[in-house]
Every structure is written in C-alpha cells, then in structure tokens.
Amino acid sequence: MPTFDRRTVLMSAGGLALFAGLDPFTRAWAAPKFSYDPFALGVASGDPWPDGFIIWTRLAPKPLELHAGMPALAVPVRWEVAEDERFARIVRAGEEIARPELAHSVHVEVGGLQPSRPYWYRFLVEGGEASPVGRVRTAPAGGTLPNRVRLGLAGCQSYPQGWYDAWRHLSEEPNLDAVFHYGDYIYENGRTSSYVIKDAAGQVADRTHASDEIYSLDDYRGRYAQYKADPDLKAAHHAAAFIMSFDDHEVDNNWASVFDQDGTAPELFLLRRFAAMQAWYEHMPVRKAQFPRPDGLTMYRRLDYGRLLRMHVLDTRSYRSDQLCDRPEEQACRREAGPDSTMLGTAQEAWLGEGLRNDACWNLIAQQVRTMPLVRRQPDGSPGPIATDSWDGYPAARARLVRTIVERNLTNVVIATGDAHIHNVGVVPARDDELDGPAAATEFLGTSISSGGDGVADSAARQAYLRYNPHFALMNQQRGYQTFDITPAEWRADIKALDQVQSPGGQLNTLARYVVSPDKPKLHIG
Ligand code: FE
Ligand code: CA
C-alpha cells in the first residue's frame, strides 16, 4: 500500500508553486499523509567547496520494501540552508523533484555561501514531518591559508559484521570539516553471515542482509536503504560533510574495470556495474559531475582547503588492469606484473600527475587500497602470497606514482587508504627493495567501521607483519577510524579503535598519535 494519498502527490507534482514563497514557520501543514517518516534514511552533505556543498536525501518511508514504500510518482521536496541550527536565518532555499528514476533521491548543489563557516540544512515534504537537520562546513576561500582543517577517515561498514558504534563516536568528534570515506559503504553478499551479533541485553540480534546477493538496480537500492537506516550511520552524516569514494563491495568483491573475480563475461558484468554505480550515485552526497552513465562514472576529483590542503580523491577500481593471478591454475586474471599495468588508467594517472604539485602545504591522496608494499612470509620464512588487490598487484603503477613524487621533490604527500580492515600506518618507500630506505610519502590506512567483527589488538599475524615490514609503524586489527588535524606546520593523526562491535556500546580508545611535518615523509610519535 502506498504510504500516502496518491491524489495529494499528483496535485503536489502538478503544482510546484505549492511551496513557493511560503514561510515554513507561518505555514500550516496539512495533516501528515505519510504514515511513516519519509526521511528514514536521514540526510547527508558532501564535497564542500568555498561557496557551498551538496545536500542529499532520499524519500524512503519503508526502507526495506520495494521502492522503499514510495509510489512511482515524482514528488516535490523543499530544501533549506540556514546559518543557524534553528533555521531563523535561512540563506538558501528551493525545491527539487524526487524522481522515481533516481529512487526518489534528491541532490542539491548549493552555492553562493560564505567560506569557512558552518551551515545547517533540512528537507521538507508535503504531508510529512521535516527531515532531521544536518550540519556542514564550507571550505576555506581559495588562496587563503587556514590555521587548521580536521578530517575523519573511515569506511568498510559491513552491516552483518558489527554495530556502527564507530560512526556514533565519529559523529561526536568536535570540529570536523569533513569525513573521507574510502568505500565499502555496502557489501554485496547475501543473507548468510558467520558473525554472531548480540544486542544490549546479550541476546543474539538479527543484523543480517535482508536479501540475497545483489545484482539488479532495485537490489542495490534495497541494500543501501538497509544500511542507511542505521541510526549511528545517520548521526555521522548529520554531523559533517562526507567526501565519498567507492571501493569494490559497492559492486562486487575485488572487481577491476570490466572484470569480476569469477570470469563473468565483461558485457554481463558491465550491466551489474552500471546498476551498482547508479545506486551509488542515488545514495551518495556527490555532485552532478559524478552522475552515472552506462559506461561508468567519474568519481576521481580534487577538493581544495585553501592553500593548506589539496585533496586528490582517486578511483582505484574503474580503470585498473585485471588482477594478477593468485594461483598458477587461475584463469580469470592477469599473468604478469608487466610494466604497462595500471591502477588508475591513463587519463586519471595523467590527471593526478598534473595536480600533484607544491602549491598547497599538503597533498592528500585519498584512495582505497594499500599503497605501501606488504611483505608476507610463510611460517617457514619463504615468501608468502602477494596482496594482489592492493598496489602490490600493480608494482609498475606504484613505481610511476613514487617517481612523480620524488622527481618533483614533493615531501608533503600523505596517502589515506582503507580496504584492509586493519589500522596500518607507515611510509611508502622510494624503492620497493629498500623498505627501510628513504620514503616518498606517509600512509594512513584506516581500519573498518564494522567489517571483520570485533577483531584483536594483537596476534601472531600482526607480529609477523611488523617484523617483515620495517616501513610499518603501526598495525592493529580492531575496528574504528582515524582523525587528521592538519595545520601548515604539521599533520597529526589520531588512530582510534573500539574494543567491540559485535555487541553494542563499544568503548573508543586512541591507540596512537602520529605527527608528520611537510618537509619530510617521516612519522613521529605525537
Ligand atoms: Fe571492506
Ligand atoms: Ca575493499
């Protein structure tokens, strides 16, 4: 059953002037026609620029139902941006149409605002309560040098593997300018999960995926809706802007360009990839530049925080060469780590090369998979398997990136990464065969919000990684996130972990604090 009266919606859709010129505080709303909150997925903001940002919502009164409980109609949605939390000083407002073509999502590219200040935003729909209020900060004006920017680093949020307490803690972090999300916002797998999740009373809770493995556009939409209805995830989006990227699980585990890991015909996999990309766009606070097309979408982009920080957001999935074969008998993979292998593709690699300069105090390469080499050994000390999904599987591409950094004397490159479900801090050596030699960049790899369950603070595997990888400063296999406090003189990273996620109420602990100065890629204990 539709959750609101069809005729009302038709009238609304036909009469867009309905909201025009009406003061939301003097206006008497009609009795709610939505029987359920249309803003059950909350609101979000993203990609701050000096004069604005993106604000997002999706009308979804029943998140787990087909079409999230919405009828196949276009519905007008009013949006407001204010200088204060109580919306006494609304500075921008307008109307957008939530269309069934885009799962009733709304993306508003708000401009004309002041730099370096907080704003509050919300959405309103005929017949429903106002949305929750989100907070967002504009970026500093171009050419200025701000004293400080504070970023969060998080991602990998497998819903069946843990509660989102890390998101709740991150939502309470003071003064965040933005959160970089390194992807795995959803996981594509089906209902079965080996993780036992308990509720606050210690009883086994059902936090499994609500559907089988996802392939179609409606499947992906349903998966996003299930994840986005989580209150802790909503709280994080309401607290700060997100700078979104994607990794593999937004589509399929370990995909690479037109290849999945099962050897599916590329023309078939591309249909799935298009569905996944459309659903990603529909649910993410990203700009029109990220609008999906059948042949893909352009996710890589730059964001500037004055002259303090230039952020290069990379797409390490869409253009990479196929994965190296893990085993000799494997078929659907690349045989050789040849010199022409690519992680970014030709166009993106050239784009990154053009942008990696000394114009800002810091260059942040915000991306998905570990850049640092990872040496693995068998118990007998012989070489272990290569981490083929990370930059280790693309050594020629990594060497080109390192060469660009070294040749330009860029000492201020920080790489922020995810994917591995561990906190891993270290440096990217200038040479793969000299791990304890000079470094080209520092790398902060953030763990997961929930993927991997509780995890452990220490293990034999961790000890072995640290022994064979002298360029690693820290490795920890618990859940959590990182924060970066960035000033012209130093980059401070706080590495934060939770004691549990398979039961709610996990306690947050700062494992370590590192400081980097922009004149040398070297980690200091902070
Ligand atoms: Fe992940
Ligand atoms: Ca991943």
Handedness of CA 235, 367, 298, 116 (dihedral sign): positive
One-character DSSP codes across 254-275: T-BTTB-TT---HHHHHHHHHH
Ligand 2 centroid to 41 CA: how many Å? 24
Residues 356, 248, 65: CA angle, nearest 5 degrees:
130
**In one letter, which amino acid is 412?**
N
Computed on alpha carbons and rounded to an integer, the radius of gyration of the chain in Å comes to: 23
Report the alpha-carbon distance of residue 418 to residue 256 in Å, rounded: 17
Protein residues within 5 Å, CB atom, of ion ligand 1: 156, 184, 451
One pLDDT digit (tens) per residue for the chain, 526 residues: 334 444 344 334 333 344 444 444 333 333 337 889 999 999 999 999 999 999 999 999 999 999 999 999 999 999 999 999 999 999 999 999 999 999 999 999 999 999 999 999 999 999 888 999 999 999 999 999 999 999 999 999 999 999 999 999 999 999 999 999 999 999 999 999 999 999 999 999 999 999 999 999 999 999 999 999 999 999 999 999 999 999 999 999 999 999 999 999 999 999 999 999 999 999 999 999 999 998 899 999 999 999 999 999 999 999 999 999 987 777 788 888 889 899 999 999 999 999 999 899 999 999 999 999 999 998 888 999 999 999 999 999 999 999 999 999 999 999 999 999 999 999 999 999 999 999 999 999 999 999 999 999 999 989 999 999 999 999 999 999 999 999 999 999 999 999 999 999 999 999 999 999 999 999 999 8
Q: State how far the alpha carbon of 495 is from the alpha carbons of 156, 159, 328, 443, 445, in Å.
A: 16, 22, 38, 12, 10
Protein residues within 5 Å, CB atom, of ion ligand 2: 184, 247-248, 419
> 128: how many CB neighbours lie within 10 A of its CB?
23
Ligand 1 centroid to 248 CA: how many Å? 8
Ligand that lies nearest to the alpha carbon of residue 247, given by its number in the listed order:
2
Q: Is 154 helix (H, G, I), strand (E, B) or coil?
A: strand
Q: Among residues 459, 501, 466, which one has the least CA distance to residue 481?
A: 501
Residue 385 contacts residue 325 (beta carbons within 8 Å): no
DSSP state letter for 204: B
Ligand 2 centroid to 280 CA: how many Å? 15
Ligand 1 centroid to 157 CA: how many Å? 7
Q: Among residues 300, 272, 101, which one has the least CA distance to residue 183?
A: 300
* Dihedral angle of Cα 315, 321, 327, 332, to the nearest 10 degrees: 110
Ligand 1 centroid to 357 CA: how many Å? 31
Which pTM was predicted? 0.94
Ligand 1 centroid to 235 CA: how many Å? 21
Ligand that lies nearest to the alpha carbon of residue 254, given by its number in the listed order:
2
Q: For residue 121, what are the contacts with CB-CB under 8 A and spacing of at least 6?
A: 43, 45, 55, 79, 80, 81, 82, 110, 133, 134, 136
Q: Among residues 39, 103, 100, 35, which one has the least CA distance to residue 72?
A: 100
Q: Among residues 281, 239, 273, 209, which one has the least CA distance to residue 121?
A: 239
Give the residue carrying structure tokens 């166009």.
347
Ligand 2 centroid to 151 CA: how many Å? 21
